[in-house]
Amino acid sequence: MTIRFTQDHEWIKLDGDVATVGITDYAQQALGDVVFVEVPEAGRELTKGKDAAVVESVKAASEVYAPVDGTVVEGNGAVADEPSLVNTDPEGEGWFFKMKIKDMAQFEALMDEAAYKSFIAGL
């Protein structure tokens, strides 16, 4: 299983030919208590860098961007029902959606864990 990160604080984890996407621990801390999550429906075509999901805290509304091009396989209904999962387990149960990646090169070009850690250290 390989994990990659974007500068917009999404993580994407590859397992076989399906990737899971969520927001990082750093992002959930910055947002504060998450009160609402909207996840995409299966079948939706996503474009890298464009809106894919919505996450809201009390005082901030943010778009979660697609880290790469692809097609949604599944949205996480559990996180839509219980948004606090994003705070308690952002890189586990608090995932947003699963997708099929169109172009593996886009995935490979994203930051690895070490690169992301040094990226947020510099913020």
Partner 1 sequence: MAMNNQGRDSTPHAVAVADELVTFTGNKALQQEEALIFELDNPGAVGVDLEAPVTTKTRLDGVKTRASVGLPSLAEPDVVRHYTRLSQKNFAIDTTMYPLGSCTMKHNPRLNEKMARLPGFSDIHPLQPVETVQGALELIDQLAHWLKTLTGMPAIAMSPGAGAHGELCGLMSIHAALDARGESHRRRVLVPESAHGTNPATAAFCGFTVDTIPAEENGRVSVEAVKAKLGDDVACIMLTNPNTCGLFEPQIREIADAVHAAGGYFYCDGANYNAIVGRVRPADLGVDAMHINLHKTFSTPHGGGGPGSGPVVLSDALAPYAPLPFVVHGKNGFDLVEQAADAKGAKPFGRLKGFHGQMGMFVRALAYILSHGADGLRQVASDAVLNANYLLANLKDVMSASFDGPCMHEALFDDRFLKGTGVTPLDFAKAMIDEGYHPMTMYFPLVVHGALLIEPTETESKQTLDRFIATMRHLAEKAKAGDLAHFQASPRLTPRKRLDETQAARKPVLRWVKPATPASAPAGVAQAAE
Partner 2 sequence: MRYLPLTETDRSAMLATIGVDSVDALFRDVPEQARLKGPIAGLSNHMGELAVERHLSRLADKNVTASAVPFFIGGGAYKHHVPASVDQTLLRGEFLTSYTPYQPEVTQGTLQYLFEFQTQVALLTGMEVANASMYDGATGTAEAVLMAARINKRNKVILSGGLHPHYREVVETTCGVMGMDIRAQAPDWKNAEDLTALIDGETACIVVQTPSLFGHLRDFTALCDAAHAKGALVIVVVTEVVSLGLLTPPGEMGADIVVCEGQSIGNGLNFGGPYVGLFATRDKYVRQMPGRLCGQTADADGKRGFVLTLSTREQHIRREKATSNICTNSGLCALAFTIHLSLLGEQGLTKLARVNHANAVTLADKLEAVKGVKIVNDGFFNEFTVKLPKKAAKVVSKLAERGILAGVPVSRFYPEMDGLEDLLLVASTEVNSLEDMDALVRGLEEVL
Q: Which residues bind partner 1 (CB under 8 A)?
A: 8-10, 23, 27, 30-33, 35-36, 55-65, 83-84
C-beta separation of 75 from 96 below 8 A = yes
- CA–CA distance, 68 with 108 (Å, rounded to integer): 10
Least separation, in Å, of the C-beta of 107 and partner 2?
A: 28
Least separation, in Å, of the C-beta of 66 and partner 2?
A: 17
Least separation, in Å, of the C-beta of 37 and partner 2?
A: 11
Q: Does 60 bind partner 2 (CB under 8 A)?
A: yes
